[in-house]
Structure 1
């Protein structure tokens, strides 16, 4: 882990797998984020995040041509970083690639369209979406991504919520072909959902150099105290969301004991996992970013082992969700 101390205090960075890239321990995501914000507020928020060391920004094309209203959060991001006067070399861009759009021409048409929308010549990282197809040739997939790397369109790639077995298959294919395999797995990880990232199947992957991007760490805002979110919330593996809601008062009490907030406690917990490169969060207010940045210090203040032990009662998907993944 490295920390820059030049000027404004900046959060640390950690390696993205074995790629040679490093990302800030917190990354800012854009799931219909910027299209819900005043533009000036979005520029201020992104500027503040970058100034304090957030280097990884996650965007994606969340919609299809002709959709009404049109999906614009990634397009807005291209204007936001220009207005914030961020140079392209000052940040890492993470794009989504959807397997539903993977066909005879590979990922290239989809990626070029996404890069056109976001105003960049390349993505530092691409994350493949959930695997819902059984007709994919993993060797062709790995070689296609290798060709995008060779063309300078991407620098590293990873997967979102793939099973341990399928990730191992990708790693094996990449090793056999002499090309780079997946470097990072984006996984649901929170004080409530720990079975997959903390299980043995993924531990074996982490031993091979794979790292993790923790996502959905607030359970759609529930763990921050919003027990009845009005916006769309992610999938509910194991159907444990109601049990998660029931743990909120206890989590709130523990946060008060540590003189912090439930949201900060939730973020800090994810950073205690030794394989976590970065924790992805969405924010539509500057104060949310400020609070999450402050959560980084909680790990050293409380201690990783103590923090993990004290939140263990809130682990609700234990023995419910298969640790091997979907």
Structure 2
């Protein structure tokens, strides 16, 4: 049955925008679609109140792949006829080459490629090694002051660095991060629900944006993905592939699809403001919308109880970084 309602909204953290609980990603999405399919998907997202798009320039660090996905998105959203007040954009600021490539340069490039003047929010992305967190906070504030976006979040930061950013922003009267984009879903829960990030969510200092809930498609049945997918944090991908039949079985017990189960699980966590996922057709988006009916029909507690066995990343280091999870006992 086709979805006929409107996707509900939640606040993307204190000081963040009111956003639909669905967001559509761009990595390996718009560049895999035909132009008409892009336009149709964007129009359908707007029709159901889910026109919130995570759009990045994937031409830095490990993403230096000459991707045109952001250009395709910009063309498609204009072809779809959406005014700028009819959709939300979450941009990305990468730390791979920072501060050599600063935030002002990154934002100018990204906004020009999409064809807009301002993002609604941004995520300050992945990094390895030493980063001057105080400088990051100050440089983000400079972009806010320049009018390029109003709020920001972090992507998979170490807990100690995020704590420093929150405390430094508060002490200096700067804009703190308001949400965390984390790998979160049926099989990866520890970072979001554990003692590090979990306490900030419980205190209301941050909201959770759940990303990669389908593990690059594995948890919706594409157990041998042909395209590049996200990092296997903790080295548990083989266990995730092995768990897919059980995911499908649990979903079927609720008369739902695996995608609906995965999204509904994320939304069952009250910390989750938004679920970011990739949909490459109207049909996929319409199936995903069924997660809302599933959550309403079954309830958050029952969904979490039914899927408790799927938590595969229980082990983390004492500082909040990831550690490999041992295989379950026979």
**Partner residue in 2 for 1:194:** 189
RMSD, aligned α-carbons? 2.0
1:50 pairs with 2:43: no
Distance verdict in 2 for CA 1:146–1:106, change over 3 Å: same
Q: What are the Cα deviations for residues 100-126 of structure 1, in whole angstroms up to 9, with x where unaligned?
A: 232267310111111010001111111
State the partner residue of 2:306: 310
1:165 to 156, 160, 166: 160
Deviations 1:114-173 (A, max 9, x none): 101000111111111112130x32222111111111111111111110122211110001
In the other structure, the counterpart of 1:121 is 117
Deviation at 1:203, TM superposition (A): 1.7
Q: What is residue 97 of structure 1 aligned with on the other side? A: 93
- What residue in structure 2 maps to residue 3 of structure 1? none
Name the residue aligned to 1:130: 126
Match of 2:137 in 1: 142
- Map of 1:164-243 to 2, 5 A cutoff? 164-206=159-201, 207-243=203-239
Q: Structure 1 length as normaliser, TM-score?
A: 0.93
Deviation of 1:290 (Å): 0.6
Q: 2:34 matched to which residue of 1?
A: 38
Q: Is the 8 A contact 1:211 1:277 kept in 2?
A: yes
Secondary structure of the residue aligned to 1:185 is strand
Give 1:69 shift: 7.5
Q: In the aligned structure 2, how far is the partner of 1:106 from the partner of 1:193?
A: 32
Structure 2 unaligned spans of 5+: 323-330
Number of aligned pairs? 318
Work out whether 1:85 is the aligned partner of 2:88: no
Residue 190 of structure 1: how far off its partner (Å): 1.1
Q: Which runs of 4+ in 1 moved over 3 A?
A: 67-70, 320-323
Q: Please, which runs of 5 or more residues in structure 1 have no aligned partner?
A: 1-6
**128, 146, 155: which one aligns with 1:151:** 146
Q: Distance in 2 between matches of 1:76 and 1:232?
A: 19
Residue aligning to 1:266: 262
The equivalent residue for 2:325 is none
> Does structure 2 conserve the Cα–Cα contact (< 8 Å) formed by 1:30 and 1:74?
yes
Establish whether residue 290 from structure 1 lines up as the match of residue 311 from structure 2. Answer: no
CA shift for structure 1 position 322: 6.2
Q: 1:110 to 1:71 in 2, by over 3 A?
A: same
Residues 104 and 62 (structure 1 numbering): CA distance in 2 closer, same or farther, change over 3 Å? closer
Is the partner of 1:57 in helix, strand or coil? strand
| 3-state SS of paired residue (1:30) | coil
Matched residue of 1:222: which SS?
A: helix
Q: Distance in 1 between matches of 2:257 and 2:318?
A: 30
1:195 and 1:317 in contact (8 A); partners too: yes
CA distance in 2, matches of 1:200, 1:119: 41
Return the offset for 1:223: 0.7
Question: SS at 2:192's partner residue?
Answer: coil
